[in-house]
Amino acid sequence: MERNEAMNKNPYDILGVSKSASADEIRRAYKRKAKELHPDLHPGDAAKADKFKAASAAYEILNDAEKRAQYDRGEIDADGNPRGFERAQGFDRGSMHGRHSGFSGYHGPPGGSQGDAFEDILSGMFGGGRRRPGPKKGADMRYRVEISFEDAVLGARREMMMADGRKLNISIPAGIETGQSLRLKSQGKTTGGGGPPGDAILDVTVRPSKIWTREGDDLRMTVTVPLKIALLGGSIDVDTPMGALTLKIPEGSNTGGVLRLRGKGVQRPKKPGNLYARIEVSIEDPKDPDLKDWARGYRG
């Protein structure tokens, strides 16, 4: 009963539009019906398959301006046949045109007048128009990877053991941060159906440093400077992710002063960041009598 009712309605009723509907309204109505009724979304549901056939046939009529005008004038019926023409027993439009949609053996509407709307719908639902799906891709595999602060700043190559026992040499780009991921193409699970393997996804955590903190591509640190060097100027050795460097301390430096080491931050290929060293003046020997005498004689 439901199948016959669907076939007996006129194209406007099948798509749920008025006789004055615009071409865009008809197109949108057909797309809604197709998404709702497509056989690949309802395998084995004959009723929905018949309704989809009816919607496709209705769209073929209403999407073609000439056929729509002929239908409105009563010259053709809802199947596109001239009025008064009786179809032979067992003969339908699908067998006459021999067109196939390529999905689950379902025969689509005759002719090609559904055009872009049908392609758009299938592309949206299945990601590729009416092409038959190829072998399924293998599943991705996720790994949690912890790297050192220095590796995140400088970039590095590290060996990693995969779940299947393989060892891979992984490239860690300079500048990577906690929460970011690295994707290794075709290093995930394989399939038995000949499809491509999935990917390996490395979720990265960067261990914090006891020496440096990071602000974007710049690094910051605190350096302890003896009082004498702070007063008279001089040099001290400081640690950087690239190794120890000599830092020149200007005469008369004070706690809170900041010195910049250009290009010693995150090593981006084209524009590396900087390293900023905050000075903290220290008294090497608070009990030094000469220093106490100096302080007593100081008149501030």
CATH number listed for the domain at residues 213-296: 2.60.260.20
Strand-strand pairing, 218-226 and 167-172: unpaired
**Cβ atoms of residues 162 and 200 within 8 Å:** yes
pLDDT at 6 over 90: no
What per-residue confidence (pLDDT) applies to 298? 66
Q: How far apart are CA 108 and CA 99, in angstroms?
A: 7
CA dist 203 to 142, 148, 178, 183, 200, Å?
Answer: 7, 14, 8, 9, 10
pLDDT at 90 over 70: no
**Cβ atoms of residues 191 and 137 within 8 Å:** yes
**Cβ atoms of residues 186 and 196 within 8 Å:** yes
Q: What percent of the chain has pLDDT over 70?
A: 78
Task: State phi, psi for 289 to the nearest 5 degrees.
Answer: -65, -35
pLDDT band at 174 (very low <50, low <70, confident <90, very high): very high
User: Does the fold of domain 213-296 match that of domain 2-126?
Assistant: no
Instruction: Estimate the share of the chain in helix, then strand, then coil, as percent rounded to the nearest 5.
Output: 30, 25, 45
Give the residue extent of every domain in the chain: 2-126, 141-206, 213-296
Phi-psi region of 133 (alpha: psi -120 to 50; beta: other; left: phi over 0): beta
What per-residue confidence (pLDDT) applies to 204? 96
Q: How far apart are CA 205 and CA 32, in angstroms?
A: 45
**Interval 185-238: pLDDT, tens:** 999 988 877 789 999 999 999 999 999 999 999 999 999 999 999 999 999 999
**Interval 233-267: pLDDT, tens:** 999 999 999 999 999 999 999 999 999 999 999 99
CATH of 141-206, one of 2.40.160.20, 2.60.260.20, 3.90.1300.10, 3.40.50.2000: 2.60.260.20
Q: How far apart are CA 226 and CA 218, in angstroms?
A: 26
**Cβ atoms of residues 199 and 187 within 8 Å:** yes
What per-residue confidence (pLDDT) applies to 299? 59
What per-residue confidence (pLDDT) applies to 200? 94
Which pTM value belongs to this model? 0.53
**Interval 121-171: pLDDT, tens:** 444 444 444 455 668 888 999 999 999 999 999 999 999 988 888 899 999
pLDDT at 93 over 50: no
Q: Which helix (H) or strand (E) holds 115?
A: helix 115-126
What per-residue confidence (pLDDT) applies to 216? 96
CATH number listed for the domain at residues 2-126: 1.10.287.110
**Interval 109-124: pLDDT, tens:** 434 444 445 445 444 4
**Cβ atoms of residues 50 and 56 within 8 Å:** no
